[in-house]
Structure 1
Amino acid sequence: MVNIWERFRFKTLLRFLGPGFLVTVGFIDPGNWATNIEGGSRFGYSLLWVITLSTIMLIVIQNMAAKLGIATGKSLAVNIRDRFSRPVSAMLGLTIVLACVATDVAELLGGAIGFNLLFGFPLWMGALVTVGLETFLIVSQRYHRLEIIIMGFLAIIALCYLIEIYIVKPDWSAALPAMVVPHLNRESIYVAMAILGAVVMPHNIFLHSNVIHSREWGISEEEKMSQLNYEKADTLAAMIMGWVVNSAMIIVAAAVFAKNQAAVTSIEQASATLTPLAGPLAGFLFALALVFAGVGSSVTSSMAEVNVITGFLGKPEDPRTLLYRFSVFATAIPSFLIIVLSMDTYKILIFSQVVLSLQLPFTLIPLLMLCRDKKRMGRFASGPAEFAAAIVISAIVIVLNIYLLYTTVTGA
């Protein structure tokens, strides 16, 4: 009987795996590539701890976002609109829409650069192909099939980077301690904040609270509580996979670029420099993974953007409506402008992730307030330990933001 029960539980777990992995694709997007390459090439292994800290923070926050969706049957965007006054809701909605624009800049630029590296497409054409694939996947596929496709993308990205780690042979005696020992100074704070923003992405918090509804959680609190461990397992497994890939990005950059004192000023240059230093296979895997990251993350960012825009406006999330279709494309416009104007894509990618970090408090604080609301959450309301952990996480984000602004303004 025990073995049968264990098999049943494992099969049930497989049914619930998925939402967390959609979120994971979002935080190994091209913005992460830019920040991780910058961090690894300039500071070696020393910023690996930021990935570890960010992932721990992410596990707590994403679990709270998923619980909010399960307990209320509504996304974070809808809950904010219902809970807060119209001016506060409008202000919070505006900040997350701006964060979505920054996210789309990273996703489309990354996809465009990936297609340029693999096939020689000009950036504007690569961006169009990325948007085309993104739209096709969203419109033509059922959700669960789309989920499987995105998980396949994630597996390809992870495999590419694990092979690259094998190729470059990093200094593990330096890398392993750096994963847990903090090291930060005035020179690295900007990149550290960009890495933090690239991992704990605010739009992903909204996304998780919405896509969690793709599973049948039951009607009563008892039914939902009995299945909550499956959500936790999905979130934990997905976030750990994201930690592995993001850490691998920094490790490869440190082992190749920092070790050889090769300055990197663009993703294209990173690919061009990687090939002679680590071999043509490493360069090919880099470009291939970037294409899958760009397309996959653009799909999930569009899903988040649609939910944010429709949720804050109090409109249904219906693919047949004009608002839904507009929401899929609206935030892509700045990306095309950046490409057409031939702006510095590498700096834009890093800056976009800093924008995400600066927005985080405007997502975290409402999430904490909602998850602590026992009327809204019932038995799912955050307990003292979870709430205290979330407060510490929010405080870390806010303090780092203040430090970033201080060092940027004063140059101190």
Structure 2
Amino acid sequence: MKKWFSNIGPGTLVTAAFIGPGTVTVCTIAGVKFGYTLLWALGLSIIACMVLQEMAARLGVVTQNGLSEVLKSQFDNKIVKSILLGIIISAIFIGNAAYEAGNISGGVLGLSTIIESPNISLGGFAFNYLSWIIGVLAFVVLYIGNYKILERSLIVLVLFMSLAFIITAIVTKPDISLVVKGFVPDFSSEKLFTVIGLVGTTVVPYNLFLHASVVKEKWNTPEELPLARKDTIIAISAGGLVSMAIIIAGAAILSNEVNNAADLAKSLEPVFGPAAKYVLSLGLFAAGITSAITAPLAAAYVVKGCLGWQGGLKSKQFRSVWMFILFLGVVFSSLGIKPIKIIQFAQVANGLLLPVIAGFLLWVMNKKNILGKYTNSKVQNAIGFLIVLIAAFLGCRSIWKVVINL
């Protein structure tokens, strides 16, 4: 058991990052609106996540550098390098700011079930003070830098919530034949945004940068790649199982719309009864605050790598980045927009950014001057290229649908 725990690595961090408020919300909504019919999209997302995160982990272990550092080293032309870094930084800032707003909104969504009327008026504007409380808590933890104990405690709470969904999925006694049919692809236009949301909540672009950066803290030589690969596959498979359980549990909710935590909690009622909303509130808060700490840190690591900053977690430059991302997340979360809408937008934004970041990763993974014999195989390239194409197709269809509806 001790040996098993010693081999648990960054894969768990990646899973904990994507099993957040966004996953709970988007997967529940997918189940409520479309039953089991979008299980195929989630299955595709899990495979894509596994393939791309394995590439990121391999890159980090072999090169002992993060994705942004490696990309930066591949261009000598200053103009091209500046454009590339500008695209990466812009994508991460946009994606992480939206994701952070969703994380904080998830925490608010949980607390608002217990604390009534969390809005206050100031100068003609209404603010949700719970967003600022969560933001201050995340700020203190990040500023001190000693967040591991808190993070592990919150992950335990998130795993508790995940176990509740798995039990609930079993208790609802789903029709197995309908569940199997749910893995048949369906690209109906009314399901498009939910499909992109499922992709965005599972394959999180900033996790590719985060994984490549932190994996070297666990493993230092290419000979340890099997351990890194095993860690990635097991952790993401477990996260995928939880996500599927949430969709199945959501399909049992006798409602057509989800607007708040009380609606989400209906999927837990078969197991917890009247206490369901409190169980979900605790889980959503845990998921929200954990991800609210992770997302700004990931953005800071990316910018640090792109701009070649020196210094550790307590350097002024590093802190300025995560402070900015955290501030944006708090502001957007507190503006009175429905938390469910913010969380959905964050997942769609991630889905749109995915083909850009995944394309960069796929290109780097074929550089022999970087990875030597550890470059992608033909099969890995084929799967990776297919993932980028599908992500780009879904993104383009989403943009086109928005344009024609203007």
TM-score calculated relative to the size of structure 1: 0.87
1:240 correspondence with 2:237? yes
CA contact (8 A) 2:109 2:339 kept: no
Pick the aligned partner of 2:216 from 195, 213, 217: 213
Cα RMSD (Å): 2.5
What is the one-letter code of the residue matched to 1:315? W
Aligned partner (choices 99, 111, 118) of residue 122 of structure 1: 118
SS of 2:190's partner is: coil
Give how far 1:148 is off. 4.1
Q: SS state of the match for residue 50, structure 1?
A: helix
Q: Render the CA deviation track for 1:374-403: whole Å, top value 9, x for unaligned.
A: 101122211222122111111111112122
Task: Kindly report which structure 2 residues correspond to 1:353-368, keeping only aligned pairs within 5 A, or say none.
Answer: 353-368=347-362
Mapped to 1, the partners of 2:405 and 2:283 lie a distance apart of 36
* One-letter amino acid of the counterpart of residue 288, structure 2: G
Which moved further from structure 2: 194-203 or 146-155?
Answer: 146-155
Change (3 A) 1:141 1:310: closer
Question: How far did 1:294 drift?
Answer: 0.7
1:285 alignment counterpart: 279
Query: In the alignment, which residue of structure 2 is the partner of 1:3?
Result: none
- TM-score by length of structure 2 reads 0.88
Pairing 1:326–2:330 present: no
What does the per-residue CA deviation read over 1:9-35, in whole Å, with 9 as the maximum and x for residues that have no partner?
x76553231201111111112122232
Of residues 5, 8, 33, the one that matches 2:24 is 33
| 1:59 alignment partner in structure 2 | 50
Aligned letter for 2:257?
V
Distance 1:56 1:403 in 2: 22
Counterpart of 1:301 in structure 2: which amino acid?
A: A
In 1, Cα distance between the equivalents of 2:41 and 2:118? Answer: 34
Identity %: 26
Equivalent in 226, 229, 246 of residue 249 of structure 1: 246
For residues 14 and 358 of structure 1, the distance between their equivalents in structure 2, rounded to whole angstroms, comes to: 36
The answer to whether the 8 A contact 1:127-1:336 is kept is yes
- What SS is found at the alignment partner of 2:365? helix
Q: Distance in 1 between matches of 2:86 and 2:25?
A: 31
1:200 equivalent in structure 2? 203
SS in structure 1 at match of 2:189? coil
- Alpha-carbon deviation of 1:108? 0.8
CA contact (8 A) 2:155 2:287 kept: no
Judged with a 3 Å threshold, the aligned counterparts in structure 2 of structure 1 residues 211 and 95 are, in CA distance, closer, same or farther, namely same
How far, CA to CA, are the matches of 1:163 and 1:314 in structure 2? 47
Superposition deviation, residue 352 in structure 1: 1.6
Given the alignment of the two structures, is residue 94 of structure 1 paired with residue 97 of structure 2, yes or no?
no
CA contact (8 A) 1:20 1:234 kept: yes
Aligned to 1:7: none
Task: Summarize deviations over 1:107-165 as a string: whole Å, max 9, x none.
Answer: 11101111222444727343234334434544556576567446424422322222333
Spell out, residue by residue over 1:302-326, the C-alpha distance to the aligned partner (whole angstroms, 9 max, x if none). Answer: 2211212222222135122112222
- 5 Å-filtered alignment, 1:396-411, equals 396-410=390-404
- Residue 254 and residue 373 in structure 1: after superposition, are their counterparts in 2 closer, same or farther (change >3 A)? same
2:104 aligned with 1:108: yes
Shift, 1:72, TM fit = 1.4
Structure 2 residue matching 1:318: 3-state secondary structure: coil
Task: Tell me the distance in 1 between the aligned counterparts of 2:246 and 2:64.
Answer: 36
Change (3 A) 1:338 1:146: closer
Q: Is the 8 A contact 2:101 2:346 kept in 1?
A: yes
CA shift for structure 1 position 339: 3.7
Amino acid in structure 1 at the alignment position of 2:290:
G
In 2, the alpha carbon distance for the partners of 1:151 and 1:232 equals 22
Change (3 A) 1:352 1:148: closer
How many residues align? The count is 392
Structure 1 position 83, deviation (Å): 2.1
Could you list the runs of 5+ residues in structure 2 that have no partner in the other structure? 76-80, 120-127
- 1:190 maps to which residue? 193
In 2, distance between residues paired with 1:126 and 1:168? Answer: 33
In the alignment, structure 1 segments of 5+ residues that lack a partner are 1-9, 218-223
In 2, the alpha carbon distance for the partners of 1:215 and 1:58 equals: 20
Which residue, 239, 254, 266 being the options, matches 2:259?
A: 266
